[in-house]
Structure 1
């Protein structure tokens, strides 16, 4: 499905097809951690604002934001002069000071697990007599009370009505494809009613179009018809979403994996696929989504995308890291490193180590990714010092931080931990996120700690002559 068409469809349904990754709450300190596996999904109370010069508008606010964590809002293009967007709440308010032609404004909500957008149309008239409030020259926007109708043959359905007509005036309603025999759409008010006379147990998607002087607006409803009450059908048109028990899997050749199961929390699933192909000996059950098997050869860690498809061709995905190590990395070190990463580092860098790019959180700083990080892998001792000393204390000689071409100016507190803690988490990050096949030893961390302790550095920012070893 075309991504733009898919996104439009899902926003009308009130859902979003999102990458099902284990998201996290980005905080100023890695000591305070919260998690959310969902990307934001935002809906505004009004999708069209008919405003008048020098007259304050009624604030338009976000009425639904799903379960995803939202760090901030932005809008493009800039709102009409006098109107503002609250970067924390997403509320649009103010008093426009000049007439402005009707224009669509895209509000973006960004969070650690992704982002979503919502479009609000705004017109500012010089005269209060030009437009009727909320019925100006906007396309219609409609929402139905029920998004699915699960009917029974020869039984009258409970009528489904339009509960929101925010936006432009509506002159008529139509539906594509034609409704099942016995059901009808009232072309004047959009009500769907009737008694179906045929059976169709397969959920089908119907598009109801509201037409007005300034355009059209669509709503989408799933309908199925069961033969009788004893054999109900399911008209679930939500996008499929899953999460896996484990996002990180590793083993050694000849040792079977503990099967990793997919747990569904929304929508119907017709198949699972994965890209790229899993390592030899490991397979994905295309029906149940279980990852299992016994690998036959070593494979450096990398990310695999499990794609989930529903009956309407709507996909979601989860990223899973898989590695097949020889016995060159101690398993206990990886296990401890995974626990420390999830408990300490993921709160800032994300559960999948993807960080937050500089353009996602303007004004609040950005968090460098740990995955595919040339900065992290270029110097073995630098990340050890960063764990011990924080930022910018540990890298003044290396500033700025550049990862994959993006520049970061993040500050990071010292996360503490003993030598074993630091060795384990850096071994895990290097191996699982960056394909390293060696490990950071406890004795190596101890050596760096001794070097740091011997430094006699001025803490007011003047670090010349600190003598940090930059050769490793």
Structure 2
């Protein structure tokens, strides 16, 4: 028997596929030599490549050879070449880059470019052959304002600054190579324009240097400066910079000078008006500077001398005395004094267009001696305070320089030492006195006698500080002293007499004392008199009773439980008797105030807080006091003042504050067993820092000495919040039948703020939570459903330096 067996033996799969070069770089147009692969193991049936090769290159699928000529640039690409037979395949990674041709034949439309400053360059576009350029560059840098587009190679812009002919190398390049072009560029300057000097009008002075006049010019640069006509002697125009400088050597009338600035392209001009003045005169002098003449005396001519510049005109300030004059051209002073003038100073000024010089001379023209002095009367009889007007003397001969009187005139009279007049009003009486009055000048004197007596006037204009006095029984009257407008009273009188308790001084008219009984309004006639006469005034006086004052009760806050009779509160009041008592708003139901005595009593029916104003009044006024009423079970939170000493050098100090609870003994069921308590005390964090808190002695003794079952302390900014629950099982209770110590808070001083403070700080520590988180505040917990707001007393704080 026979059978057939079909046996197929497959070749090995290809392995270790390799090419001569793993990374190939070509240039467009460059032929690639055939790249044949090698392979180990099994024979290859076919070859494939992915991705496809760039145009112009191909893979022989039988031999695996790669050949051809690259036609287009191609970025670096990794191709996977696969050799395959029926048993398997092998791959090879082949990287290919096809670079573009290098650019060539770079050219621009011009080889020489001529521009003027300010010209806009018509864009010049380049042409190239071969490969596309990627970038354009130029060396050296182009003239200011001309730019080369690095992508397109276009030259454009506006020439901003002149430049000599310069060769530039323009280059177009890509990754493969580059090509260059030579271009010569010249930028010609503009003609100068807008020539300006700091001043278009110069006024100079001989021998005084001119500050450099530096021109400014627009447009193109200047190669030459010129002036027409030539500048005044001593002045120089710099032909390169245009600066005008120098020192004038001779005076010169005002003239116009045209300054020209030019270059090869053109000119610009400006005009300057220049005046050169002579030197001012100096050292003006006269041979005599102190001239003393008498009226009618001729002055020998005085001729001046001077230096420096010539003097064109002379003048004097002020003008010379009458009869004397100055020659305006020569400066000679001459003439005959006509009037007495006394010594006078005169400034002689000699000047020209540039300035002046001056000299001071003194001229005195003495008068004749005075004579025949007299007043309109030789005896003056005056009244005190009566104005005499003006008593004017007459005198013959010369003018008077100085007047004098001896002895001094009565006080209040004025003697004018320049005119001899007498005026004013004498202030006090005197018997007749003889006065010697003398008129003097430099040439002599004359005198006369004048007798003056001053009589006392009658009193007038009597007044008191207050013409309508309303006085209060028992109150001391402010001393009432009258004044008179004139005269001195010798006695005072009053009608009718003053009210009981008041006194009247008959020598001074003063009223004082303490009124002892009410008096209706009365008009009194007060008279002040002396031997010459009298004056009177009306004075109205009324004496009234006292209004009540200084009202107070024994407490400012009445805290009491509802349903318990209040111990009557009896008011204290001073000054006037009270006629009626009242209160607003109405007192809590069950409490009342006696309208005749002001006693507050009764039994409040419901709990509540209220503020009341209690008034005590009579027909003369009233007084009020505030009373706060708190109707509830009374628990008081308070503490002794907190006093802490601190170091001035460091600001450091510490202390503790015991927080106390006290129940009002009038509370129903006193002492009340309490299930819990919470306290909130505030402090100023600028002064104090919280340091800790301990349970008070009365809390520590709870629950057989173990303290409360719940104890919580919450320090917040500026406050300490404390809560305690006595017993979760109600096995013990807290009572505040005395000053029960609940907590002891430790504080330290804020050293940074107290360091160096040698004065100390005081203040108050209020109770209460300044915020709402955590929601703790001052509270007394009676049982699980009942709580009471305590009454709190702010704690005094004293920080003392040590």
User: Normalization by structure 1: what TM-score?
Assistant: 0.23
Which one has the bigger strand percentage? 2
Question: Relative contact order: is structure 1 or structure 2 higher (C-alpha 8 Å, sep ≥ 6)?
Answer: 1
Which one has the bigger helix percentage? 1
User: Normalization by structure 2: what TM-score?
Assistant: 0.14
